[in-house]
């Protein structure tokens, strides 16, 4: 599923301005409402509360009400009926043009068929009988802001009170709360939310999916997300377009799916051995934190690495892991002399002078062409410019950084709140600064990589001017080539697998181990990052399903279920 920015959605709306998109959206929403209510198969009168603002989202809500009334007979055929209460939270003189038209259409329907006024009433405030729950509500529709939220509107306390009351009514009535396009209060580009924000059980988003629905607050506020493209199919219609007004109609991101790395999933050849599947080194395990390195090592071994070496900096560290004796434990210094395919640096590393020395050597040596930096490795890099310089000089995207928000904040010298309010751009900034693949962990993990600046046509032309006269003469009839990029290469990715079961110590360590195992088996850094994060979340989902909840799971429990899922991907082609 591709993700589109707010600006691009607005541009698409302009391109299709003659297609009456608001009307189509209203019809789509009415259809979804019917499906949602009639699935219960109750013969009753459904009381629907619609909360509408003055912008286009309010227009979507008015159009939804119109189509519910126009198709009222569908409810009647099922032995049901509807009653709609519309709360208009705005000034009729400040409607957007399209919202004004939708408002006019709804009122015209009520005038032409006066009996409809029995089934649909307008209110400026929520009626007392709804507030005190003497009139039970079966469904609430949010049409206050949608994707039209801005700083000025968010500052209006009246909307905050209305949103809080709407959430409270949904909870008191135990009814679905459907957000049209985007829950009001949520910024659809970033996932940041102004509180209070609508907490929807369902979000019906129009034209295309949006990144903010899937990260930061988005995961808490959207509920089930349904995308209705309103018949535009923009991924197809704009894919090969070269017209000027459509040149920027392209996605900014994508949801991680199995297909994004499926080409890397291969069955093992009979004629293979442990060396075929690579050597992973885990550097960490300072005093009282040896367990972090062991967890990472177990994860790497169970996801298919041929050999896993643990370099532990605690002088009193164990020499064998009796629960996983296949791991080869040694001192941290000895690890630096092992021929490795990938080095995972950071699990339980600590921030001592010894840790600093080991990290500096890890960034400098070339015994592992691929490097994964986690935990205190990231904290030390944030503290020391010399380490930052060493990291930047490594080959582009040969290193994977796996910060959680606090570690990202230290690396970017900002607050955690700043990271969380703009997760996507902060992840992109980290990738740009450190020329690395970045996994910004959290609700809706962001995965992105360094994109080298592309030359413009003018720059290519300038370079060609510097060529010898003889070379120029042989090329003077040739066109300057157009710059092209690999498919989806410039997109950020958001992972939506996983749940709060992962909110426990050690899960970051096993993620690093998963990444290390894939890299050792020859995966590219970016695809390894996508697959490991997706698998990490899938293991949590599967285990939570088996348990019937997500409380109290421990990191080590995710390893065997991840191994099972990974084998199913390879040998059964399962999702």
Q: What is the mean pLDDT, run by run of 10 residues, along the chain of 575 residues?
A: 95 90 97 91 88 94 97 92 92 87 94 88 94 94 92 64 96 97 96 95 98 96 97 79 60 97 95 96 97 98 98 94 96 94 97 96 87 98 97 96 98 98 98 98 97 67 52 38 44 97 97 98 98 98 97 97 97 71
pLDDT of residue 448: 98
DSSP 8-state code for residue 478: S
pLDDT confidence of residue 323: 94
Residues 6+ positions from 178 with CB-CB distance below 8 Å: 29, 32, 33, 36, 139, 140, 141, 142, 200, 201, 202, 203, 204
Tell me, yes or no, if the pTM score tops 0.85.
Answer: yes
252 C-beta neighbours (distance < 10 Å), count:
18
| pLDDT at residue 485, rounded to an integer | 32
Question: How large is the greatest C-alpha to C-alpha distance in the chain, in angstroms?
Answer: 89
Question: What's the confidence (pLDDT) of residue 19?
Answer: 84
* Cα distances (Å, whole numbers) of residue 484 to 253, 463, 478, 488, 489: 18, 18, 17, 11, 10
Residue 486's pLDDT is 38
Predicted pLDDT at 364: 87
Cβ–Cβ < 8 Å for 249, 12: yes
pLDDT at 114: 87
Distance from C-alpha of 351 to C-alpha of 171, rounded to nearest angstrom = 47
Q: What's the burial of 407, exposed, middle or buried (CB within 10 Å: 0-12/13-18/19+)?
A: buried
Q: In the prediction, which pLDDT does 204 show?
A: 98
Show the DSSP H helices in 238-328 as ranges.
Answer: 290-302
Instruction: Look at residue 556 in the predicted model and tell me its pLDDT.
Output: 97
Q: 227 is written with which tokens?
A: 């995308």
Q: What is the pLDDT of residue 177?
A: 98
């Amino acid at each position: 599923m591709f993700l589109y920015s707010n600006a691009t959605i607005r541009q698409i709306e302009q391109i299709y301005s003659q297609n009456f998109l608001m009307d189509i959206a209203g019809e789509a929403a009415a259809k979804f409402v019917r499906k949602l209510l009639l699935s219960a198969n109750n013969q009753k009168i459904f009381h629907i509360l619609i909360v509408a603002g003055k912008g286009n989202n309010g227009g979507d809500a008015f159009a939804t009400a119109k189509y519910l009334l126009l198709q009222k007979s569908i409810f009647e055929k099922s032995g049901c009926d509807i009653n709609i209460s519309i709360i208009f939270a705005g000034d009729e003189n400040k409607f957007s043009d399209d919202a004004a038209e939708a408002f006019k259409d709804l009122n015209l329907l009520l005038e032409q068929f006066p009996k409809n006024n029995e089934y649909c009433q307008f209110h400026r405030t929520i009626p007392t009988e709804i507030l005190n729950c003497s009139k039970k509500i079966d469904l609430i529709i949010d049409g206050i802001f949608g994707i039209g939220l801005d700083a000025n509107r968010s500052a209006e306390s009246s909307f905050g009170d209305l949103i809080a009351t709407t959430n409270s009514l949904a909870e008191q009535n135990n009814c679905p709360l459907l957000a049209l396009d985007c829950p009001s209060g949520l910024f659809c580009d970033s996932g940041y939310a102004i509180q209070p924000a609508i907490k929807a059980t369902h979000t019906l988003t129009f034209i295309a999916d949006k990144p903010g629905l899937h990260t930061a607050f988005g995961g808490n506020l959207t509920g089930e997300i349904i995308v209705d493209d309103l018949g535009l199919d923009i991924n197809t219609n704009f894919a090969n377009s070269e017209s000027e007004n459509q040149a920027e109609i392209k996605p900014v991101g994508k949801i991680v799916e199995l297909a994004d790395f499926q080409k890397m999933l291969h069955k093992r050849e009979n004629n293979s051995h442990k060396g075929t599947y690579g050597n992973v080194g885990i550097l960490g395990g300072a005093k009282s934190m040896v367990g972090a390195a062991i967890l990472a090592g177990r994860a790497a071994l169970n996801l298919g690495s041929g050999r896993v070496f643990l370099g532990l900096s605690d002088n009193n560290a164990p020499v064998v892991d009796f629960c996983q004796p296949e791991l080869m434990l040694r001192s941290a210094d000895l690890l630096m002399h092992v021929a490795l395919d990938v080095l995972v640096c950071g699990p339980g590393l600590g921030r001592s002078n010894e840790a600093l020395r080991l990290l500096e050597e890890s960034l400098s040596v070339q015994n592992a062409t691929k490097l994964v930096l986690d935990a205190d490795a990231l904290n030390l890099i944030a503290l020391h410019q010399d380490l930052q310089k060493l990291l930047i000089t490594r080959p582009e995207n040969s290193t994977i950084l796996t910060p959680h928000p606090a570690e990202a904040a230290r690396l970017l010298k900002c607050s955690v709140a700043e990271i969380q309010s703009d997760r996507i751009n902060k992840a992109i900034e980290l990738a740009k600064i450190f020329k690395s693949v970045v996994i910004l962990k959290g609700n809706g993990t962001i995965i992105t990589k360094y994109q080298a600046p592309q030359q413009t046509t003018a720059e290519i032309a300038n370079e060609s001017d510097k060529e010898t006269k003889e070379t120029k003469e042989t090329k003077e009839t040739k066109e300057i080539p157009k710059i092209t990029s690999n498919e989806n290469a410039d997109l950020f990715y958001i992972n939506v697998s996983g749940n709060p079961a992962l909110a426990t110590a050690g899960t970051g360590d096993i993620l690093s181990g998963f990444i290390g195992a894939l890299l050792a088996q020859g995966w590219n850094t970016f695809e390894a990052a996508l697959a490991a994060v997706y698998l990490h979340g899938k293991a949590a989902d599967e285990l939570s399903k088996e348990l019937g909840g997500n409380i109290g799971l421990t990191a080590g429990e995710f390893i065997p279920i991840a191994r099972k899922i990974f084998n199913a991907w390879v040998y059964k082609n399962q999702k």
